């Protein structure tokens, strides 16, 4: 039997052709009515018939076909290290909000901090012809996929990053250096001289920058590297204190590690901030709920994500650098250096 308008396509979906037939117009007209990109207009009466038919058939355009024909897709990619980490979740949420304003869908790629996976996802985003991609994860020092980024850009997609990822791409640059410095100055002002730092993998640019800011004020702090997580912070704190019991303050390079540090100090029966002060970085929501409430550096994460997405979607030439401020938030986990050692 001939394919009348009510016959479902193989996939089960309604096609534009079916809508056109149902409305008694040509394919071209239906397309113009439903997705017409301005250029041409269609008479009221016909347009009406088409929209009615489309609604009745519950027609939804086949996005891949549209992407193909228009050679322009409606998806953007967001590359994060781990969406379950509140840091990235906040950034992603901000970015997604802006994407929605632009009627774009967001493809989220969780790289698990694996540079190989990161490269891989970037290629797949290129395969999807994503209109743009946001590199939200911190760069690794000595960026191994600059080439893949270039390939993406070359094939017509925009790229923006949070934190430096190389020249030529739009960047929102949180003031990691300044933040590290703020914490250092704060602790020094409180009289601390023996300060330990617990930190994530040395390869992360974020880590390097925060640390650089800190050491611009406090030279040669005691340093322990661990996972950039709560557990990492807990382990690092124990190790740090066993090696350097003289410390009066600990700077955790992110709030997650700070939470772990507080847990470790509680286990060790070491009062904060009376005996040891603790400071974090990021000002995640959890910071206020820790005990004592955490002194930290506030980054406006959702806003950073949103701004990066806006950089991706406007049509200005690339290579811009938007700084994002870091702000010291003093709470209860830092106090005057104890003199009772």
Partner DNA sequence: GCGGGGGTGGAAAGCGCTTTCCGCCTGCGA
Partner DNA sequence: TCGCAGGCGGAAAGCGCTTTCCACCCCCGC
96: CB partners within 8 A, 6+ apart: 78, 106, 305, 309
Rounded to the nearest 5 percent, the helix, strand and coil shares of the chain are 45, 15, 40
Considering the complex, state which of residue 82 and residue 239 has its C-beta at the smaller distance from a copy of itself. Answer: 82
Stretch of 34-42, 87-95, 155-163, 186-194 lying at the interface with DNA (CB under 7 A): 34-42
Question: Using CA atoms, how far apart are residues 179 and 204, in angstroms rounded to an integer?
Answer: 16
Output the smallest distance, CB 156 to DNA, in A.
10
Q: Is 34 in the site for DNA (CB under 7 A)?
A: yes
Considering the complex, state which of residue 169 and residue 208 has its C-beta at the smaller distance from a copy of itself. Answer: 169
Strand arrangement of the beta sheet that strand 277-279 belongs to: 222-225, 195-199, 249-252, 277-279
Stretch of 117-125, 136-144, 162-170, 204-212 lying at the interface with a copy of itself (CB under 8 A): 117-125
Q: Is 70 in the site for DNA (CB under 7 A)?
A: yes
Q: Is 10 in the site for DNA (CB under 7 A)?
A: yes
Q: Is 7 in the site for a copy of itself (CB under 8 A)?
A: no
Q: Is 26 in the site for DNA (CB under 7 A)?
A: yes
Selected from 7, 35, 52, 267, the binder of DNA by CB under 7 A is 35
Selected from 19, 92, 134, 205, the binder of a copy of itself by CB under 8 A is 92
Q: Which does 167 bind (CB under 5 to 8 A by kind): DNA, a copy of itself, none?
A: none
Question: Using CA atoms, how far apart are residues 216 and 318, in angstroms rounded to an integer?
Answer: 31
Question: Using CA atoms, how far apart are residues 51 and 34, in angstroms rounded to an integer?
Answer: 7
DSSP code string of 220-266? S-EEEE--SSHHHHHHHHHHHHHH-TT--EEEESSHHHHHHHHHHHH
Helix axes 16-23, 27-35, angle to 10 degrees: 110
39: CB partners within 8 A, 6+ apart: none
Contacts with DNA by CB under 7 A lie at 9-11, 13, 15-17, 25-29, 31-32, 34-35, 37, 39-43, 46, 59, 61-62, 65-66, 68-71
Positions that interact with a copy of itself (CB under 8 A): 10-14, 58, 60-65, 67-68, 71, 73, 75, 82-86, 89-90, 92-93, 96-97, 100, 105-110, 117, 123-129, 151, 154-156, 230, 259, 262-263, 285-286, 288-291, 302
């Amino acid at each position: 039997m001939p394919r009348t308008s009510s016959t479902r396509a193989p996939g089960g979906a309604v096609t534009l052709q079916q809508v056109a037939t149902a409305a008694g117009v040509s394919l071209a007209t239906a397309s113009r009515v439903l997705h017409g990109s301005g250029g041409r207009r269609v008479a009221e009466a016909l347009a009406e018939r088409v929209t009615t038919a489309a609604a009745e058939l519950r027609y939804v355009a086949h996005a891949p076909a549209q992407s193909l024909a228009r050679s322009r897709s409606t998806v953007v990619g967001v590359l994060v290290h781990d969406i379950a980490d509140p840091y990235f979740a906040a950034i992603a949420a901000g970015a997604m909000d802006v994407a929605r304003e632009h009627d774009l869908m967001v493809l989220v790629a969780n790289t698990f901090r694996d540079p190989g996976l990161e490269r891989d996802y970037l290629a797949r985003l290129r395969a999807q012809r994503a209109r743009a991609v946001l590199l939200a994860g911190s760069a690794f020092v000595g960026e191994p996929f600059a080439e893949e980024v270039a390939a993406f850009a070359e094939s017509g997609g925009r790229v923006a990053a949070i934190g430096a990822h190389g020249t030529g791409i739009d960047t929102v640059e949180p003031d990691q250096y300044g933040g590290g410095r703020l914490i250092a100055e704060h602790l020094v002002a409180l009289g601390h001289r023996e300060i330990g730092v617990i930190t994530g993998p040395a390869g992360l640019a974020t880590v390097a920058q925060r640390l650089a800011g800190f050491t611009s004020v406090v030279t040669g702090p005691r340093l322990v590297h661990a996972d950039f997580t709560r557990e990492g912070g807990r382990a690092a704190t124990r190790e740090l204190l066993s090696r350097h019991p003289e410390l009066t303050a600990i700077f955790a390079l992110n709030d997650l590690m700070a939470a772990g540090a507080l847990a470790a100090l509680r286990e060790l029966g070491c009062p904060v901030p009376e005996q040891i002060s603790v400071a974090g970085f990021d000002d995640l929501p959890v910071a206020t709920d820790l005990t004592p409430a955490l002194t930290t550096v506030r980054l406006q994460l959702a806003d950073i994500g949103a701004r990066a997405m806006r950089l991706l979607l406007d049509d200005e030439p690339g290579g811009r650098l938007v700084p994002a401020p870091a702000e010291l938030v003093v709470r209860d986990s830092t106090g005057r250096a104890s003199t009772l050692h």
